[in-house]
Amino acid sequence: MTDTDSERVPGAASAPSSGTAADHEGSATPPSGTRWRRPLLPLIVVGTLALVNLGLRVVMAHKALPAPLAGDEVAYTTGARVLADAVRALLQGGEVPTDELQARLVGNGWFMPGMPLLIAPLFLLDPTAGDFTVRFYLGVLSTTVFLAVVAVVARTLGLRTAAVLLVVPGLIPMWALFGFSAWGDVWAGLVILATVPLLVVMWRRLDSDGAVRLRDAALLGLALVVVLYLRSSTLPLVVAVLVLLVVVVLLRTRGRALARSLAACAVAAAVVVALLAPWSAIMSRTFGERVTTTTTMSLSVAYAFGDRDELCFGPCVEGNIWTNMARYARTVGEQTGENPLEVRRQMRDYAMRDVTPSGYAAGVLDNFSRYAFSPASYDHVFRPGATRAQDPPELAPDTLNIAVTLWTYLVALGVAAVAVVAARRVRTDAQVMVIVASLLLALLMSQPFVHVSSGRYWPVFAPLLGIAIAGLLAPADLARSSTTLRRTQVALAVGWVVVVGALFLVAG
């Protein structure tokens, strides 16, 4: 399969020099206006894969829909109900349940409101929607969004990349299953995936001596802030992408193009700041100090790396540890007149007072193993609830789902790792794709450093594995390969090896 539709690159449609995008795409087909000449086989392959994806979703729906919402899913859905109530009250001139909003949306400050905002429209349409309907709504929506993003990728990055994405993550059963979940990870992963074609389009324009377009920058800012609203742990990624954009602009452009591109960068940053500001303001006012996204960090670090018998200056009360730690911090805050967030920081410091570098590194590796190597461990969540507890076969682990997920995922991870480490001489587009995937993956690997991990989080980075693999599968093209990009790729590969090696070394 070849990337043959490059001439329809939206971002390059108004490029200053015609044919630029096609040049970068390395297309073997004639330039614009030749859509009808495109080989049919790649389209058939992509179409077939899209249908197989739909089929897998239908199969997975049978597993996902009867499963009751679990854990944080319940909190997000409750937030959505309250949000819908508030909107309905506002529209009907009734009393907005502000206390309820405060309690369910802000609460302990653990969660961003992205998922409640995403689910709220369902409760506006159907206030009685139950878990089944919520999962159905999310499943249909995530499938649609995924196929839409794949379509955008097909237009901008080519059919090969689209096809790879339809396999990784598309055909990993557990990833399809997470599409029916109310956790934000799979959703944040989809929006992160949507930033890749945007970034590549920006690169093409910069590489052809053009400027970053305001529209692209605004879209990137919008995508980044949506990612942040879905998963607060992506804050390093959001900041790094904006900084990287500025650095690339400074390195690649001069004169008017530089000024225009910097203005576009400012627009991207402004969109992020402007749309995040209301939430940050609510959080900061609630907690009495500056809070950008959530208040999770101090206690998540303490729980992940500290002595769990010392989290509350001794053992916490039994039960849900997260709720109890937050409640304890609030109590101590009330008793001492100290801000509960300061109490949480003291709890962290006390629980971590004996943590050594090697203990911390071992903890990170332990988190990392669950973060990246247990893709099927949430299979148990998608099983029928307690009402069907009498039916043992339905509660047994789904060995087929677990096995297929494990193998498809691990093979994908292995190939993506090769893509990240092996800096091949391919056309610049593919180089940029691998660099972007490598960099974004690295930034998403920040979570195991600060938060206890589980098999819930990998869907956030799974689509990037597909991008990296697509980059690896690009045909060798010495003439169109950039030495600078290759060096960048090598530097990133060295970074990966050094960080992982250092962790193993320090952990002993």
Partner 1 sequence: MTRGGRRPLRRACALAATVTGVVASVAGTSSCADLSAGYQGPAALDPPLAGPCWPLPDAVTVDVGYQVMQQYVVGDRWVLVAQWDRLSPDDFTASLTESLVDGGFTPRGAEDGWHRFEAPGYGAVAFDVTALEDATPETLVQGTFRLDLPRDAARPRTTAGCTPIQKVDPPAEGATVMGEAS
Residues that bind partner 1 (CB under 8 A): 74, 78, 81-82, 84-85, 88-89, 92, 94-95, 97, 100, 103-104, 123, 127-128, 312-315, 317-320, 323-324, 326-328, 330-332, 334-336, 338, 343, 346, 350, 353
Residue closer to partner 1 by CB (options 203, 328) is 328
Distance from C-alpha of 212 to C-alpha of 257, rounded to nearest angstrom: 8
> Is 447 within 8 Å of 453 (Cβ atoms)?
yes
Residue closer to partner 1 by CB (options 327, 380) is 327
In angstroms, give the least distance from the CB of 76 to partner 1: 12
Closest CA to 181 of 142, 232, 150, 146: 142
Please report, as a single letter, which amino acid is at residue 502: A
Distance from C-alpha of 333 to C-alpha of 326, rounded to nearest angstrom: 10
Residue closer to partner 1 by CB (options 335, 483) is 335
Neighbours of 478 (CB within 10 A): 8
Residue closer to partner 1 by CB (options 35, 353) is 353
Residue closer to partner 1 by CB (options 346, 446) is 346
Place of tokens 């905002």: 117
Distance from C-alpha of 430 to C-alpha of 436, rounded to nearest angstrom: 10
> Is 45 within 8 Å of 57 (Cβ atoms)?
no
Residue closer to partner 1 by CB (options 38, 88) is 88
The torsion of the CA quartet 394, 397, 399, 401, rounded to 10 degrees, works out to 80
In angstroms, give the least distance from the CB of 186 to partner 1: 23
Task: Give the pair of three-digit tokens for residue 281.
Answer: 């303001």
> Residue 114: helix, strand or coil by DSSP?
helix
Residue closer to partner 1 by CB (options 109, 158) is 109
Residue closer to partner 1 by CB (options 290, 353) is 353
Cα–Cα–Cα angle for 394, 400, 401, rounded to 5 degrees: 80
In angstroms, give the least distance from the CB of 248 to partner 1: 45
In angstroms, give the least distance from the CB of 303 to partner 1: 17
In angstroms, give the least distance from the CB of 13 to partner 1: 46
Residues near 493 by beta carbon (within 8 Å), at least 6 away in sequence: 420, 421, 422, 423, 438
Instruction: Give kind and range of the element (H or E) at residue 248.
Output: helix 235-252
Distance from C-alpha of 263 to C-alpha of 49, rounded to nearest angstrom: 40
Residue closer to partner 1 by CB (options 12, 120) is 120
In angstroms, give the least distance from the CB of 469 to partner 1: 41
In angstroms, give the least distance from the CB of 348 to partner 1: 12
> Is 199 within 8 Å of 473 (Cβ atoms)?
no
Burial class (CB in 10 A: 0-12, 13-18, 19+), 463: buried
In angstroms, give the least distance from the CB of 387 to partner 1: 15
In angstroms, give the least distance from the CB of 64 to partner 1: 21
